[in-house]
Amino acid sequence: MTQTSGDPVTPNLRAGVKLSDPAAFIFTSGTTGLPKPAIITHKKMIICGHNYSPVGFSSEDVMYLTLPLYHASALNLALLNVITAGATVALREKFSVSQFWQDCVRHDVTCFQYIGEMLRYLVNTAPVPEETQHKVWAVVGNGLRSDIWAQFTQRFQVKHVFEFYGSTEVPATAINLFNIPGSVGRLSPLLSRLMNLILVKVDEVSGELYRKPDGTCEQITPGSYGVMLLKLTDRVQFDGYLGPAADTRKRIVQDVLEPGDFYVNTSDVFSLDSEYNLFFKDRIGDSYRWKGENVSTAEVSNVMNTASFVQDTNVFGVKVPGYEGKTGMAAINLKENQEVDSEKLEELSDLCRNKLPGYARPR
């Protein structure tokens, strides 16, 4: 850094680069099959770099970042907002419970980016003096349970929790600015029109959008839940995925509220309370979230199906008390005349260990 020039970057280095050009590819969770590289354009990067404006993030802040930079929330949000605001980032290679608050004090940290699991680990540790000696006034992230929320803010004396909802590939976002535990923001009728976001009923069995007799979808009312859709307009576009166009088309639904309209299905289900506060409920599709990572059920199934005795596998996520997200479970259909013994279990275990990251291996 000390050897880097402070002069402005010469514009000819970006000559010919357009806002619509890809700036990065970030692999999705695989709600429609295998993980796919979502196209993150320069336009989306610039917009993401302003997402912290409503929370009062400024050049005076020091952002503590322990999440991997290949995550959209760490790169597109935390790091880009630091650059946009001219703030400071304190990077740590790996999240450490024992060193967390010491780091915050040492580097004058004023805010940090979290995933729900991080805050649960922090509230479950023994007290240290630094946990109330820091300057952290705000945390930004997602996946924080309501019960952990209250414990965290009271014990560590953090004034603001800005829980948000965002999608890597779909330009749909919401943020909780009012410290309402568990909420990811608001979606009143006015905000719905301004943000082109709606919640529509979903068939509980099939996971498909519920259609009325006239073929259109039905928007939910407060007190119920539905899947979030984003309306496509001249100003709101879906960049989709690198690869077959069919992968992008799968996410688009037509004739939602009126004939000829187009929406992108986020595959995320939310409930809405009487004050139009949004609460994330579940994710529809072939994925689940564990240890802060999205897992493609199709990817896990494909690996396990290569075992010599397996006919096919159905992988799904299940809730575990005291943990965020869902952990992996696999229902295995054996080939004819096969039985499971310790050797076969070892074969399956080795297969998952060699071919899948730790968070994706069924427990």
The pair of structure tokens assigned to 150 is: 């209250």
The pair of structure tokens assigned to 37 is: 């590289």
pLDDT in the model for residue 32: 65
Distance in angstroms (rounded) separating the CA atoms of residues 351 and 346: 8
Q: Residue ranges of the alpha helices (H) in 183-225?
A: 189-195
pLDDT in the model for residue 71: 87
Q: Could you give the domains of the chain?
A: 11-283 (3.40.50.12780), 287-360 (3.30.300.30)
Q: How far is CA 256 from CA 16, 31, 171, 236, 265, in A?
A: 38, 20, 18, 16, 11
- The pLDDT profile of the chain, 363 residues, written as one tens digit per residue, is 889 888 998 999 999 999 999 999 998 866 667 788 999 999 999 999 999 988 999 999 999 999 999 888 999 999 999 999 999 999 999 999 999 999 999 999 999 999 888 999 999 999 999 999 999 999 999 988 888 899 999 999 999 999 999 888 888 899 999 999 999 999 999 999 999 999 999 987 777 899 999 999 999 999 999 999 999 998 888 999 998 888 889 899 999 999 999 999 998 999 999 999 999 988 777 788 888 788 888 889 989 999 989 988 999 999 998 888 899 999 999 988 898 899 999 999 999 999 999 999 999
The pair of structure tokens assigned to 53 is: 């404006």
